[in-house]
Amino acid sequence: MSIDELTVESEDVELEATIKDIQTPRAVTGKYGQKRITLATLEDETGEIPVTLWEEQIDAVRNRDGSTVRITGAYTRDWVGDLQLNIPRDGSIEVVEEAET
């Protein structure tokens, strides 16, 4: 699947894209305690999309700007008028190709 094929309410998304940038993680407090969250921007030849990353997902791609990742089991939602990709606990993100340095 490519980024331009994603729509609001896309489910079970699987795609490969390049990490354009990753924001500095921040802490949020919810009903399960404090967790780290950040936003990254993914891009492919068809466009770009923000993706929300939590805890271990952040660790999996930290300092990997320019690397290609494979995302499976994700879904999209409208977040303040913009399409955003989310990876649930049973989804995954993994680096499949390191950025050239």
Instruction: Please state the length of the chain.
Output: 101
Does residue 101 have a pLDDT over 70?
A: no
- Predicted confidence (pLDDT) per residue in 3-38, tens digit: 999 999 899 999 999 999 999 999 999 888 999 999
Asked if residues 54 and 36 have their Cβ atoms less than 8 Å apart, the reply is yes
Domains of the chain in sequence order: 3-97 (2.40.50.140)
- Predicted confidence (pLDDT) per residue in 65-94, tens digit: 899 999 999 999 998 999 999 999 899 999
pTM greater than the 0.85 cutoff: yes
**For the range 34-43, what are the long-range contacts, defined as Cβ-Cβ under 8 Å and sequence gap of 24 or more?**
42/3, 42/15, 42/17, 42/18, 42/69, 42/71, 42/85, 43/3, 43/17, 43/18
- Predicted confidence (pLDDT) per residue in 39-53, tens digit: 999 999 999 999 999
